[in-house]
Structure 1
Amino acid sequence: MDALDVKILRLLQQNARMNVTSLSNELSLSRPSVAERLHRLEERGVIEGYTARVSPQAVGRDTQLVIQIADLRVTPQQFEQWAQTQEDIVECHRVTGHASHFIQAAVVGTPGLRELVDRLMDFGTVQTSVVLSSPVAYRPMLPPDASQIEQSR
Structure 2
Amino acid sequence: MNKTDITLLKLLQENSRVTISDLSKQLSLSRPSVSERLLRLQEKGIIEEFTARISLQALGLDTLLFIQVSELKKRPNEFEEQIKVENSILECHRVTGTTNYILKAATSSMAKMSELIDRLIPFGTLTTSIVLSSPIPYTIILPEEEVVEENCLL
Quickly name the TM-score band, shorter chain normalised.
over 0.9
Deviations 1:82-118 (A, max 9, x none): 2221110000000001110001100011111101100
Partners of 2:86 and 2:114 in 1: how far apart?
Answer: 14
Do the aligned residues in 1 keep the contact of 2:2 with 2:148 (CA within 8 Å)? no
SS across alignment from 1:73: coil
For residues 29-63 of structure 1, give each alpha carbon's deviation from its aligned partner in whole angstroms, at most 9, with x where no partner exists: 00010000000000010000011111111101010
Distance (whole Å) between structure 2 residues aligned to residue 85 and residue 77 of structure 1: 13
Q: Distance between the aligned counterparts of 1:21 and 1:78, measured in 2?
A: 47
Partner of 1:127: 127
1:64-97 per-residue CA deviation (whole Å, 9 max, x = no partner) reads 0011000111111111112221110000000001
Cα RMSD after superposing both structures: 1.5
How many angstroms apart in 2 are the aligned matches of 1:146 and 1:13?
Answer: 21
Inter-partner Cα distance in structure 2 for 1:4 and 1:82: 43
4+ runs deviating over 6 angstroms: none
Q: What is the distance in 1 between the residues matched to 2:133 and 2:103?
A: 17
Relative distance call for 1:145 and 1:43 in structure 2 (3 A) is same
3-state SS of 1:121 partner: helix
**Kindly, what percent of the aligned residue pairs are identical?**
47
Paired position in structure 2 for 1:66: 66
Q: Partners in 2 of 1:3 and 1:21 — Cα distance?
A: 19
TM-score (norm 1): 0.94
Gaps of 5+ in 2: none
Q: Provide the rounded CA distance (Å) in 1 between the counterparts of 2:108 and 2:146.
A: 39
- The CA distance in 1 between the partners of 2:6 and 2:111, in whole Å, is 43
Matches within 5 A, 1:140-151: 140-145=140-145, 149=149
Q: TM-score, normalised by structure 2?
A: 0.93
Greater mean alpha carbon deviation, residues 2-11 or residues 76-85: 76-85
Paired AA for residue 46 in structure 1: I
Question: CA–CA distance in 1 between the matches of 2:142 and 2:112?
Answer: 35
2-structure distance, mates of 1:141, 1:77: 29
Corresponding residue of 2:5: 5
C-alpha distance in structure 2 between counterparts of 1:108 and 1:72, whole Å: 27
Other-structure match for 1:40: 40
CA distance in 2, matches of 1:126, 1:24: 50
Alpha-carbon contact 2:65-2:105 (below 8 Å) kept: yes
**How many aligned positions are there?**
150
